[in-house]
Structure formats: C-alpha cells, structure tokens
C-alpha cells in the first residue's frame, strides 16, 4: 500500500498561496490624531479614502461630528487639513 506523500513542490505552492492571501489582505490603519481627538471629545468619527480622479493619489477624508440636534457640529478634514464646518449655531 502506497501512502500519499506531501512533496516539497506542493509545500512551496501552499506557502506562496498563503503569502499571497496575507499580502492582499487590507492592512489595519493606524489611528490618526484627528480620530484620537474626536473620540476623546465624545465625537462620532468616520473616514474614507477617495481617489479624486483616475490616476490620482487617494486622499483621506475624515469627519468628526460633536454635539446633537441643532447644537451638533461636523468638521471635515482632507489629508489632515480642516475644511468646512457644518451645523451648529
């Protein structure tokens, strides 16, 4: 009776497949100063990376909203630079 052998070739193929899956996995993003400041002040934080146009470098858009109702304010940042503030009186 012959036992199936796990060859060095199949071990190499498996190693390459696993390495490919790991490198294709999204990397955990580090917390930005804006996120830390927003969360420590009790604000709601959101972010996304957008590509303004095809071939351009992606930019990070971050938004921090504090307060509720008519006293709520949201500030949007583009690559760390504050933009318009929305809401509030």
User: Is residue 67 very low, low, confident or very high in pLDDT (cuts 50, 70, 90)?
Assistant: confident
Residue 88 predicted with pLDDT over 50: yes
What mean pLDDT is reported for the chain?
75
Residue 4 predicted with pLDDT over 60: no
pTM here is 0.58
Distance CA 4, CA 83 (A): 64
67 close to 86: Cβ distance less than 8 angstroms? no
Residue 62 predicted with pLDDT over 60: yes
- pLDDT at site 70: 76
């Amino acid at each position: 009776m012959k036992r199936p052998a796990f060859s060095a070739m199949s071990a190499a193929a498996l190693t390459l497949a696993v390495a490919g899956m790991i490198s294709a996995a999204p990397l955990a993003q580090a917390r930005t100063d804006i996120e830390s400041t927003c969360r420590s002040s009790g604000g709601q934080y959101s972010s996304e990376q957008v590509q303004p146009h095809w071939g351009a470098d992606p930019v990070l858009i971050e938004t921090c909203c504090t307060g509720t109702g008519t006293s709520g304010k949201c500030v949007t940042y583009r690559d760390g630079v504050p933009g318009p503030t929305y809401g509030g009186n």
